[in-house]
Amino acid sequence: MTGIRIAIDRGGTFTDCIGNPGSGNPDEDVVIKLLSVDSKNYPDAPLEGIRRLLEIFQKKSIPRGVPLDLSGVESLRMGTTLATNCALERNGERCVFVTTKGFKDCLLIGDQTRPKIFDLAIKRPKPLYDLVVEADERVTLEDFSEDPESFSTHPDPQKGVYIGKSGEIVRVLKKLDIGALRADMQSAYDQGIRSAGIALLHSYTFPEHEETVAQIALEIGYTHVSMSSKVSPMIKYLPRANSAVADAYLTPVIKKYLSALQAGLVNVQNTSIQFMQSDGGLVEGSKFSGLKSILSGPAGGVVGYSATCYDAETNIPLIGFDMGGTSTDVSRFGDGKFDHVFETTTAGIVIQSPQLDINTVAAGGSSMLFWENGLFRVGPESATAEPGPAAYRKGGPLTITDANLLLGRLVPELFPRIFGPNEDESLDLEVTREKFQSLSESINNDLGTSFTVDEIAHGFLKVANESMARPIRSLTEAKGHVTADHQLVTFGGAGGQHAVAVAESLGINTVIAHRYSSILSAYGMFLADVVEENQEPCSLILESKETHDKILQRFKAIRNAAIKSLLKQGFTQSDLMFENYLNLRYDGMESCFMIRQVGQEWNFQEDFVSTHKREFGFVFNDRSIIVDDIRVRTVAKSMVRLTSSISQELSQSVAKKVDRESEATFYKDVFFDDRRMQTPVFRIENMAAGSVIDGPCILADGTQTNVIPGNASATVLSSRIIIKINFKSKDSEKCPEDRVDPVLLSIFSHRFMNIAEQMGSQLRKTAISTNVKERLDFSCALFDPDGNLVANAPHVPVHLGSMSTCISAQAKLWKRKLKRGDVIVTNHPEMGGTHLPDITVISPAFSNTDDEIIFYVASRAHHADIGGILPGSVPPNSRELYEEGAAIYSERLVREGSFDEALIRKLLVDEPAKYPGCSGSRKISDNISDLKAQIAANTKGIQLIGKLMRDFGIDVIVKYMVAIQENASTTVKQALKQLAEHFGATVFEGEDFMDDGSLIKLKLSLDIEKEEYTFDFGGTSPQVYGNLNAPEAITNSAILYCLRCLVDKDIPLNQGCLKPITVKIPKGSILSPTNGVAVVGGNVLTSQRVTDVILKTFNVMADSQGDCNNLTFGVGGKSSNGDVSNGFGYYETICGGHGAGGDSWRGPGWHGADAVHTNMTNTRMTDAEIFERRYPVMLNEFSVRPNSGGHGKFNGGNGVIRDILFRKPVQVSILSERRVVAPHGLEGGQDGARGLNLWIRNVSGATTNIGSKNTISVEPGDRVVIMTPGGGAWGERS
């Protein structure tokens, strides 16, 4: 017999503990569940759990507050949410961020996107650091991957040119200024800071400068130093810098907690104390870091279900469904291996570190229930552990837990009696019933219905189930897997009440619940292995002859270091297993796959190609495969407990039908579907292995409750419950015919949105261009047969309303002419296009019973080049439409499933080149690949619509397609009524000028009684002989976006928002130009000005930067003599200042956000290191432009400074606004600063203002500096 073994998972609501006295016998395991926060009774939940377990095993009373003697404990394993909570609540260790000069604001700017595109009051996570020190040093990569000549530099240390750790050639442009750095670090130290996060550009391959900074910090006296080259040695500066700062911010807190924990323990010298990391491996306490603990608890759950429920004999993949108190974590386990990801966003922090691929949805047992805008809403707000659900006897709100309790799906008789002032009471059913009765009265009064309390509670559960099924579909299908081919493993305290319903929604017919399902994260830690992760950067060509031997040598070196570390921890070499990985990508692409070596085989190329094909749908036969990173995961097997597989258990058990009458522990009145039923409750521990029970029934013990509905049956094994589902027929789904069911309305809101989201995922993964894959410059949406928007994924706002105009025009043009498998392509402004690079691909979705079109699905993506007078097809000085590239009015791109490549080559290459000074597409292969990706996205949408038809039937779908638009229309009417009442007016007027003097004028008339609302742009200037002309579709987009923002609630965005609106635009004006005029600036500039005008006419927000700051550069294409040369092109939009808002009926006012994309765009910025790897540039500075936001009661946000040095001759174009007319303040607030574009020449030193719209030819050493506008302020400063 060995010593006591304990594992503990401290979650957001509950702390789960499992212990064994040392026998190893599962029958002697003890499980304890207690509240994570219960300050009246104990200060620390894990210590309380240890105390209670020791009392049981040692059979003696141990008072609280006394140090716990661990002399009899062999192993203590823990997972904790401490780091996650610190990140969320921003209460970690004060730290300094050390970065390269020019990048002090890089973590504040991030990727320049705003978190929620419809929030006018932009809320971005507060940076983790207190101070920034800019190190005066600079390293860059010497060659660039887009070089058409593929030039390769040789190292020359005498000239500061070295081979980096990755194998890339680096140039040290400026050695670290040690004296200045030491003084700045000392100053931060003198201000009380003791932790430093260091991240210098390109340190992943050249870490020497970081190492020097770290040494200086330690010499000064810093107690913790995190280097990005150590914690995350991978390219991409932003996530690596975030990782270093996160580690500096969180690890000292973890260390303090470990010290406090150990202070509550004595005689620990012979106890192995280990912690679960985010990658699913254990690590000793001294190596446990904040960065690697973010997903500590959820990772234990993945280890738990993979170790106990995966059956290698059947190899059926599993979906983990971990529904806890605060949230639900979903994950996947297949082919006997964990899925890891290396870049995630947690608490607003982009982290680059190996983590299990776990997706979190804000729906848990404590998620709050809301009735608003005619919809049932669950979460994301949570009652957490304090006060918890209403039933917890602490005055909490109604939650999912309360709905389950009311409906009899929770069994208070078996629930831990841990509530009330003395921790001895069960759940409070009466207060739950009272609160639901009050909520039901509100809903019935609003709708004029007579829903019962049970129907209301059950409706909330159905909506919650759909919200949890949605991320599972995305998790599996986005990676090319079929959801229905999986089995669902339920765990977490609330999982058993929802698992069957969620599985049924996903088409999964088997649910598995382990005997420890409610504490499976803790049990996973009990079973887990110790893991040592090591990774190094690389830059080798996989197919090269020398690569094989070089990589084998590096694998060996990394393994030897891991062996040395683990032998010190008491493992023997026979305990160790090694997993070798290469992080691979195609040359010129940024999408990497971590490929695992199989045995001793050199399978990397074959497996990379097959993985790329499965996830993206294509491969590149003409591109090399690049090794970005070399990784070794060393696993020290714990061998704590071996369990038989499910197949073995089933074969060894004898099936026995349970007699419900005689074997039930008791009966409960439980609500299923449409009525209450007397339902047998069985205690799991009293059931023999092999017992088979038909539903409806409940299987429960002291920590878990599994609800088995009437269309399912359960087989109880010694350590698991296997639930088989018989799917209900469509006819069994009752849908009210005479009214709109608010529950189904809420569910269809999720379903329609999920279709658009999955289309977006499909497009992003199958496209090859940076614009789609990295910058996310695309949108996908679902439309009714008339072209009205039904649902869209929250992509690029300028696409939203304009796509509806486009689909509507195409639906009329092609009425009764389309067949199954047909696909239409268009980009013409006359047909609802925005500007020509945005190509729209449209597919009809037919009824499954006849040839009637019931939906259209469409995807719009920005193509990097479609011809015209300049590379990038965004010319700043275009005058005619043809100068901007190919214009496609309407063509059938696919005819009954056959892609017409000859047609698209004619449209994109031959036609544009016919015009004077114009070229056809400069990269037609990329155009064709992205168009095929758009078609694939549409096909995904049509498949999902087909499933929806099979689930609900056409009549129901059409009914709720209309109802969801009516709901949005009603909500917009309410918002406009509130606007009129707040200001005491029904007529509002506003205007603004473009930099060329063009006027945009708006009169808004609100007839509240007749519910008629008019946006009249009469008086707007005529179209211009330039490219600021905006097709009418753009104004529709701006109005739709502003109305959705005005509502300020989470409603579906669809055509219903515009239904009560009449829009009047004078023909031939800048907002309704005639055919053939240039429009490229209308999409990216005029659209922003229209939005500013609408929002200040509403009087809710001052002007934002009113601009996208479109910067393009490149070489190649057709020359003046007609020759065509290879080249490259790059396109980016640059963030700026956000407008301030005042107090209103919507809530309090706000300060504008600094350095963010605003209003009609939200595309990402290319990472600085990727930027310099791919192009002949050096980014000198990307920082917040100080004092560029207007001052007032609420200040406007600041713009940015982006300083780019060019290392080769290229052509550079800028298309921008607000360089003449400043962003205006409101109600006495100051204007934001105007933007400024400068060209600083290397040879002459001259600085030239190139204006808002220009094209220049730069030479090596020349710089272009873009200073973007600030936002206007609101109100006079007191």
Q: Which 3 state secondary structure label does DSSP give 405?
A: helix
Give the integer Cα–Cα distance in Å for 1033 and 797. 12
Q: Which 3 state secondary structure label does DSSP give 1221?
A: coil
Phi and psi (nearest 5°) for 622? -105, 10
- Asked if residue 14 lies in contact with residue 36, where contact means CB atoms within 8 angstroms, the answer is yes
- Asked if residue 1216 lies in contact with residue 1253, where contact means CB atoms within 8 angstroms, the answer is yes
Q: Give the model's pLDDT for residue 1118.
A: 65
Q: Give the model's pLDDT for residue 599.
A: 83
Listing DSSP states for 517-533 in one string gives: GGGHHHHHHHHPPEEEE
CA angle 501, 502, 506 (to 5 degrees): 115
- Asked if residue 822 lies in contact with residue 732, where contact means CB atoms within 8 angstroms, the answer is no
Quick: pLDDT tens for 630-684.
999 998 887 667 777 888 888 888 888 988 888 899 999 999 988 999 999 999 8
Decide if pLDDT at 737 tops 70. no
- Asked if residue 1169 lies in contact with residue 237, where contact means CB atoms within 8 angstroms, the answer is yes
Q: Where are the alpha helices (DSSP H) in 863-900?
A: none
The confidence band for 774, taking pLDDT boundaries of 50, 70 and 90, is confident
Q: CA 348, 353, 358, 360: dihedral to nearest 10 degrees?
A: -10
Phi and psi (nearest 5°) for 478? -65, -20
Half-sphere exposure of 202 (CA within 13 A, CB side): 26
1068: how many CB neighbours lie within 10 A of its CB? 13
35: amino acid identity, one letter: L
The confidence band for 731, taking pLDDT boundaries of 50, 70 and 90, is very low
Quick: pLDDT tens for 998-1008.
999 999 999 99
The number of helices, as runs of H, and strands, as runs of E, in the chain is: 27, 59
Residues ≥6 apart with Cβ < 8 Å to 1036: 801, 802, 804, 805, 1058, 1063
Cβ burial, residue 377 (10 Å; 0-12/13-18/19+): buried
Phi and psi (nearest 5°) for 556? -65, -45
Q: Give the model's pLDDT for residue 1120.
A: 64
Q: Give the model's pLDDT for residue 735.
A: 53
Q: Kindly report which listed range (200-209, 220-229, 303-312) carries the lowest average pLDDT score.
A: 303-312
For the chain, report the end-to-end CA distance as a whole number of angstroms: 75
Give the integer Cα–Cα distance in Å for 251 and 258. 10
Q: Which of 1208, 1202, 1215, 1216 is nearest to 1262 (CA)?
A: 1208
Q: Which of 1017, 506, 514, 994 is nearest to 719 (CA)?
A: 514
- Asked if residue 1021 lies in contact with residue 1112, where contact means CB atoms within 8 angstroms, the answer is no
**What angle, 0 to 180 degrees and rounded to 10, lies between the N-to-C axes of helices 954-983 and 924-952?**
100
Q: Kindly report which listed range (621-635, 787-801, 861-875, 902-916) carries the lowest average pLDDT score.
A: 787-801
Q: Which of 708, 705, 655 is nearest to 679 (CA)?
A: 708
Q: Which of 194, 172, 460, 468 is nearest to 319 (CA)?
A: 468
DSSP annotation of 1069 reads B
Half-sphere exposure of 1023 (CA within 13 A, CB side): 24
CA angle 430, 431, 433 (to 5 degrees): 65
Decide if pLDDT at 734 tops 60. no
- Asked if residue 826 lies in contact with residue 842, where contact means CB atoms within 8 angstroms, the answer is yes
Residues ≥6 apart with Cβ < 8 Å to 406: 429, 432, 433, 436, 453, 454, 457
Quick: pLDDT tens for 166-211.
989 999 999 999 999 999 999 999 999 999 999 999 999 999 999 9
- Asked if residue 133 lies in contact with residue 188, where contact means CB atoms within 8 angstroms, the answer is yes
Arithmetic mean of pLDDT, 538-557 = 89
The larger pLDDT score, comparing residue 39 to residue 729, is at: 39
Residues ≥6 apart with Cβ < 8 Å to 13: 35, 36, 324, 325, 326, 364, 365, 366, 384, 385, 388, 493
Helix, strand, coil shares of the chain as percentages rounded to 5?
30, 25, 40
Candidate ranges 87-101, 336-350, 943-957; pick with highest mean pLDDT: 87-101
Rounded to the nearest integer, the mean pLDDT of the chain is 90
Q: Which of 271, 360, 346 is nearest to 22 (CA)?
A: 271
Arithmetic mean of pLDDT, 154-165 = 93
CA angle 659, 662, 663 (to 5 degrees): 70
In this prediction, what percent of the chain has a pLDDT beyond 90? 56
Range 608-612 contact pairs with CB under 8 angstroms and sequence separation of 24 or more:
608/542, 608/584, 612/586
1103: how many CB neighbours lie within 10 A of its CB? 37
Decide if pLDDT at 443 tops 90. yes
Q: Radius of gyration over alpha carbons of the chain, in Å? A: 31
Q: Which 3 state secondary structure label does DSSP give 145?
A: coil
Arithmetic mean of pLDDT, 1210-1236 = 96
CA angle 723, 728, 732 (to 5 degrees): 145
The larger pLDDT score, comparing residue 1075 to residue 214, is at: 214
Q: Residue 50: which H helix or E strand, with range?
A: helix 45-58
Arithmetic mean of pLDDT, 114-133 = 91
The two three-digit tokens of residue 858, written as one number: 């469409």
**Cα 106 to the chain's mean position, in Å?**
20
Q: Kindly report which listed range (55-64, 479-488, 978-987) carries the lowest average pLDDT score.
A: 479-488
- Asked if residue 1079 lies in contact with residue 1133, where contact means CB atoms within 8 angstroms, the answer is no
Tokens 């039930």 locate to: 664
Arithmetic mean of pLDDT, 385-398 = 87
748: amino acid identity, one letter: F
Arithmetic mean of pLDDT, 905-933 = 91
Quick: pLDDT tens for 322-338.
887 777 889 999 888 88
Quick: pLDDT tens for 677-723.
999 999 988 888 899 999 899 999 877 889 999 999 999 998 899 99
816: how many CB neighbours lie within 10 A of its CB? 6
Arithmetic mean of pLDDT, 241-259 = 93
**What angle, 0 to 180 degrees and rounded to 10, lies between the N-to-C axes of helices 520-527 and 296-309?**
80
Q: Give the model's pLDDT for residue 827.
A: 95
The larger pLDDT score, comparing residue 1213 to residue 646, is at: 1213
Domains and CATH numbers, the chain: 87-262 (no CATH), 530-636 (3.30.1490), 742-945 (no CATH), 1104-1278 (no CATH)
DSSP annotation of 411 reads -
Q: Give the model's pLDDT for residue 142.
A: 92
Q: Where are the alpha helices (DSSP H) in 1136-1211?
A: 1168-1174
Cβ burial, residue 1220 (10 Å; 0-12/13-18/19+): middle
Q: Give the model's pLDDT for residue 1178.
A: 97
Residue 496 forms beta bridges with which residues? none
Q: Give the model's pLDDT for residue 732.
A: 42
Decide if pLDDT at 268 tops 50. yes
Decide if pLDDT at 1017 tops 70. yes
Give the integer Cα–Cα distance in Å for 440 and 453. 6
